[in-house]
Structure 1
Amino acid sequence: MSGTGRTGKGRGRLGSVLSNIAVALGCVLFLGGFAWGAVVYKPYTVPTSSMTPTIDAGDRVLAQRVDGDDVERGDVVVFRQESWGNAPMVKRVVAVGGDTVGCCTDGKLTVNGKKIDEPYLPAGQAAESKKIPTLTVPKGRLFLLGDERSGSLDSTAHLTEAGSGTVPRSAVDSRVDAVAWPMNGMLTRPTGFETLGPLSSPGPLRLILAAIVAGVVLILGGAAYGPLAKRLGRSRTVSRREPAGVH
């Protein structure tokens, strides 16, 4: 009996140690995930419907802090440009420095003579709802459009300005990875631009969320171990004290 008791205590201590480790590791993952996210991402509330249906007015997005030099075609970016009002704006990059952009050929935007498939446009809307004269984007600059072409104040509204409506890469503050509220998730990759060059890789948002969820699971699992172990211990004690058939 004494040997069995010592074994039970030993198992109890081991379980308690493992429980504490699980809770500690869970806290590290949970808090670390939030800290990592705070360093890498910025939240923004989009004030207009110029990016509908990708992003609606009032949506809360998570944008990864990036250098403007890392922006590629198809990226949805947050930027500030003095001549555009010097307020944070969200638009899609459709052409980069050196590209020739125009609209439209067979109802599609063209970049470097290639017709671009844009499945993110509103249903029933063709790219030709926004007329764009053929122009070459200056080096180090970006040509930006809203996904809601008919109502977006984008590069086409600034064609008469220096740079033909383009903005410098340095104006980019971050790149939108996901719509956090409502929880629409990660933005779809703009595969229509793949024939022109590499697309941007998604940020670490999925890894961050995985770390936070794993942390919650470990914390809850570790915290639940103690009460469960005590309840199981009581059940075993009662079963030993009251063997079947004894009155």
Structure 2
Amino acid sequence: MHGGERTTGDSGRTARDVPRPPRAPGALVSGAAVALGSVLFLGAAVWGAVAYRPYTVPTPSMAPTVEAGDRLLAQRIDGDRVRRGDIVVFSHPDWSDLPLVKRVVAVGGDTVGCCADGRLTVNGTALDEPYLPAGRPAAVTSLPSTVVPAGRLFLLGDARGGSLDSAARLRDGDGGTVPDDAVVARVDAVVWPPATLARPAAFAALPGGVSAPGPLRSLTASALVGAVLVFGGAAHGPLARRLAARRTG
């Protein structure tokens, strides 16, 4: 050897002079699939970590929609993006030291009351609320017609009989409402058993409608496609070599 170069035989050609065989098209496809899958999977994971936070429901006040101890995924949002029907996570020192989970039934400027044929009313419209416990009326005791101040939210639990919510706090000031900036997130899904929480149709006809779906489904689809591409691409190479060996063997 001269100058540290390795030769490949008596011809004196160095290893660098020997042409490398071209990569098989299958290897290129496999590598591209793994790369694309990694981008999709990791991108979804990062985006999800930024957009969502996990929460645990502390009380049964939102049963049967979510039960005490359920793990939730909640999208980080500003309170001014909240719409009627949203289930929100909020913090307010007059309510609790811990984050709470309730449903928004009225926003600033609305008039909320009970009851019309046993149904909650918002701006004079009686609501059908299929998310309430089966066989339980929507009636809220001692809920006179109440105007929600601007920039505030009227919150109720789905388990109306045992929820310390706006109806139970009417005498606390501001009609038992909380400022919309107390909201830290909007609940999109239950982690286990997996379930996406749809926006209630009962509020869709009211001005402003209901919230658009969050990005959770897109993130989940991106992560699943990414995982399939990574595992499929990684498995493609060994399978292709095994098939090639069988054909030439």
> Which of 199, 202, 207 is the matching residue for 1:189?
199
Aligned equivalent of 1:112, options 119, 123, 143: 123
Secondary structure at 2:45 match in 1: helix
Q: Deviations over 1:168-202 (max 9, x none)?
A: 0010001001111221x210221101221211001
Once the two structures are overlaid, the 10-residue window that deviates more, 69-78 or 193-202, is: 193-202
Work out whether residues 79 and 184 of structure 2, in 8 Å CA contact, stay in contact via their aligned partners in 1: yes
Q: Structure 1 unaligned segments of length 5 or more: list them.
A: 1-8, 239-247
For residues 49-64 of structure 1, what are the structure 2 equivalents within 5 Å?
Answer: 49-64=60-75
Which structure dedicates a bigger proportion of its chain to helix?
1
Give the counterpart letter for 1:67 in structure 2: D
Cα deviation per residue 1:58-80 (whole Å; 9 max; x = unaligned)?
A: 11111001110000100000001
Cα displacement (A) at 1:81: 0.8
Displacement of 1:119 in angstroms is: 0.5
Matched, 1:80 2:91: yes
Q: Distance in 1 between matches of 2:93 and 2:142?
A: 24
Contact 1:60–1:182 (CA under 8 A) maintained in structure 2: no
- Rounded Cα–Cα distance in structure 2 between residues aligned with 1:204 and 1:189: 14
Once residues 42 and 179 of structure 1 are traced to their aligned partners in structure 2, the CA distance between those partners, rounded to angstroms, is 12
Aligned length: 229
User: Which consecutive unaligned segments of at least 5 residues does structure 2 have?
Assistant: 1-19
* 3-state secondary structure, aligned to 2:145: strand
Q: Which amino acid aligns with 1:202?
A: P
CA distance, structure 1, for counterparts of residue 142 and residue 120 of structure 2: 9
**What's 1:244 paired with?**
none
| Cα distance between partner residues in 1 of 2:100 and 2:40 | 33
Aligned partner of 1:173 in structure 2 is: 184
1:44 aligns with 2:55: yes
Map residues 2-17 of structure 1 onto 2, 5 A cutoff: 13-17=24-28
Q: Report SS of the residue matched to 1:195.
A: coil
Over aligned residue pairs, what C-alpha RMSD do you find?
1.4
The one-letter amino acid paired with 1:196 is: L
Aligned-residue sequence identity (percent) comes to 60
- Which amino acid counterpart does residue 135 of structure 1 have in structure 2? T
User: How far apart are the structure 1 equivalents of 2:21 and 2:176?
Assistant: 73
CA contact (8 A) 2:51 2:76 kept: yes
1:213 counterpart letter in structure 2: L
Quote the Cα distance in structure 1 between the aligned partners of 2:162 and 2:189. 22
Q: TM-score, normalised by structure 2?
A: 0.89
1:1-247 to 2 correspondences below 5 Å: 13-183=24-194, 185-197=195-207, 198-238=209-249
Give, in angstroms, the shift of residue 131 of structure 1: 3.9
State how far apart, in whole Å, the 1-side matches of 2:103 and 2:191 are: 18
TM-score computed with the length of structure 1 as normaliser: 0.90
SS at match of 1:16: helix
Tell me if structure 2 keeps the 8 A contact 1:64–1:176. Answer: yes
The code of the aligned residue for 1:141 comes to R
Q: Is the CA contact 2:114–2:140 (under 8 Å) kept in the aligned structure 1?
A: no
Structure 2 letter corresponding to 1:61: L
CA deviation after TM superposition for structure 1 residue 129, in Å? 4.9
